[in-house]
Structure 1
Amino acid sequence: MTKVILLKNKTVPNDPYEQNFISNEFQPVFVPLIKHFHLPEEALQLFKDEKYLNKLKYIIITSQRTVECLNESIMPRLSSHQKEILKQKTIYTVGPATSAFLENSGFQHVKGGVKVGNGSLLADLILNSHENEDVDHFLFLVGEIRRDIIPKKLNGHGYKVNEVVTYSTKYLDDNIGTFVANFKSAGDIVEEHEQTWVVFFSPQGTEKIIEFLKDNSSYRLASIGPTTEQYLLDKGLTPHVVSEKPEPSSLLNAINGYMKSL
């Protein structure tokens, strides 16, 4: 059974990557690189202000970590009425996984998702959807570490974006040790089609792993998308496959397609 090392935190209670790979006879292994800490207070203060909440029209969420913060640290502290109002808001998001997470969490008007795979495309969708509309502001729930593509694009077209941090990120000290242990446990694989796959989901926390991989050749490399692919190329690693979309089925199809070509 081919091992797939997923450089990400396992989503709870169910991780779609784990489910997809197991059902297709792969052995998925999660190697967390970072730990997230919820920072709910600023967003909570806004959502408890019903005057603000009623005025708010649009929220942008691009991270599953933000959805986790909403579910675990914000929603339980809101009144039933406040929760109902919040779940009626239009939410713009990136990728099918975060979109599905939001919908499963009870948000009823989720846009973007499967149609857009990165922040630039999401910003374009927002601009096209609200052309000539008088929007007071977009509320962008973010992590402490984030890119500024969406705010820059929207600001450039005259829209105000209020960024509110909902979680912080800390690199795990021994992620390289955990990775090497899982990498080496694959054994001395001889058959090319059985080589261990290493999947990069983000540049965060990967520096030491990249250096390790440069000195080893018995693996296949996958990137979840073009941004991470470019990061790997800049670091001197060329992915064997790049997922067409940041979702489990696309990643699995890319890996299966490559393996069938051997």
Structure 2
Amino acid sequence: MVVLSTKELSKKQITLLDKKKFALVHADFIKIKTLNFSLDQINENLIFTSKNAVKSILKNKDVNSVTSKKCFCVGEKTKRFLEKNSFNVIDFASDAYSLAEKIIEKYFNQKFTFFSGTIRKDILPKKLIEKGVFFNEIQVYKTVLQPKNIIIETNAILFFSPSAVESYLQKNKINNQTCFCIGKTTAKALEDISETSELNIVIASQPSIESVIEEVIKYNN
């Protein structure tokens, strides 16, 4: 079985597939670039929906001015990365919709700053706006698409973001492959963008690369 990952995997992640005798093709279909931004107008609560946003904040010369703020994030890996870098995580959720629901339910009267990328879904900000939660948004990184034409025949495709879905579909089509997605947002992007009428999509139980790989292994046992 040939597995295509739209993100380059680490040696440890590759080993998980090697043990099960999968053939792997992997390449980065997107690239992240840190933007110039100011941390002058930051509210007491910070929202991160990706690890990329955290990495961009850490590169800012004024990062020490925000480490004392309260953080809300998507994904356990992002949570651990924030805590590793001395941020205080108050709450987190598995996806943007669930995080927005938590903020609306438990932290409605507080003010937030949402750190985002140039290509982001409207799920979280739209939900907060609808419910009157005060927040400002700062774009801290740029997502650059890096589409590649895949000639080899594949059986499974791994997607880790809506941007990677868009990048892949610029030069390729989905035929009979099973698509493994890191979360609901990525799966929705696949359904919206793909021209294939019937897609076979499997969503990981947790928003992590390892969880996506686990689903591939489980699916083919």
What's the TM-score bracket when you normalise by the shorter of the two chains?
Answer: 0.7 to 0.9
User: 2:148 matched to which residue of 1?
Assistant: 176
Partner in structure 1 of residue 75 of structure 2? 95
Q: Which amino acid aligns with 2:212?
A: L
The RMSD of aligned alpha carbons is 2.6
The alignment status of 1:226 with 2:184, answered yes or no, reads yes
Instruction: Find the counterpart in structure 1 of residue 54 from structure 2.
Output: 67
Q: State the alpha-carbon separation in 2 of the partners of residues 226 and 159 from structure 1.
A: 23
Decide whether aligned partners of structure 1 residues 102 and 233 sit closer, same or farther in structure 2, where only a CA change above 3 A counts. same
Q: How much has 1:127 moved relative to structure 2?
A: 1.5
Equivalent residue number for residue 101 of structure 2: 124
For the 8 Å contact 1:36–1:65, the answer to whether it is kept is yes
Change (3 A) 1:138 1:201: same
Q: How far apart are residue 7 of structure 1 and its match?
A: 0.8
CA contact (8 A) 1:21 1:27 kept: no
**1:159 counterpart = 2:133:** yes
Structure 2 gap segments, 5+ residues each? none
Is residue 34 of structure 1 aligned with residue 30 of structure 2? Answer: yes
Once the 2 structures are TM-superposed, how far is the Cα of residue 91 of structure 1 from its aligned partner? 0.9
CA distance in 2, matches of 1:166, 1:27: 36
Mark the CA change 1:166 to 1:121 in structure 2 (over 3 Å): closer, same or farther.
same
Q: How many residues align?
A: 212
Range 29-38 or range 122-131, more displaced? 29-38
Look up the match of 1:58. 45
Amino acid at match of 2:31: K
- Give the 3 Å change call, closer, same or farther, for CA 170–251 of structure 1 in structure 2: closer
CA contact (8 A) 1:22 1:28 kept: no
Alpha-carbon separation, structure 1, partners of 2:16 and 2:139: 36
C-alpha separation between the residues in 2 aligned to 1:223 and 1:244?
A: 10
Match of 1:201 among 135, 151, 160: 160
- Match of 1:176, SS state, is coil
SS at match of 1:4: strand
Write the deviation string for residues 56-83 of structure 1: whole angstroms up to 9, x where unpaired: 3100011222112122x20xx23xxx61
Q: In structure 2, what is the equivalent of residue 189 of structure 1? A: none
TM score, norm. by length of structure 2 = 0.81
Within 1, Cα distance between the matches of 2:183 and 2:171?
A: 18
Deviation string 1:173-204 (CA, Å, 9 cap, x unpaired) is xx323x43xx45xxxxxxxxxx7532012232
Aligned to 2:12: 19
Q: Distance in 1 between the 2:171 and 2:162 partners?
A: 11
Indicate if the aligned counterparts of 1:229 and 1:239 stay in contact, CA closer than 8 A.
no
**SS at the partner of 2:157?**
strand
Structure 2 CA distance for partners of 1:34 and 1:252, relative to 1, 3 Å: closer
Measure, in 2, the Cα distance between the counterparts of 1:110 and 1:249.
Answer: 25
Moved more, 225-234 or 157-166: 225-234
Higher helix share: 1
CA distance in 1, matches of 2:86, 2:26: 28
- Give 1:8's aligned amino acid: K
* SS of match in other structure, 1:206: helix
> Structure 1: which 5+ runs fail to align?
47-51, 185-194
User: What is the rounded CA distance, in whole Å, between the counterparts of 2:3 and 2:79 in structure 1?
Assistant: 24
Deviations 1:71-113 (A, max 9, x none): 2x20xx23xxx61x5222111111122222222222133520x
TM-score normalised per structure 1: 0.70
Q: CA deviation at 1:140?
A: 0.5
Query: Does the 8 A contact of 1:223 with 1:239 survive in 2?
Result: no
Q: Give % identity.
A: 25
**Of the two, which has the highest radius of gyration?**
1
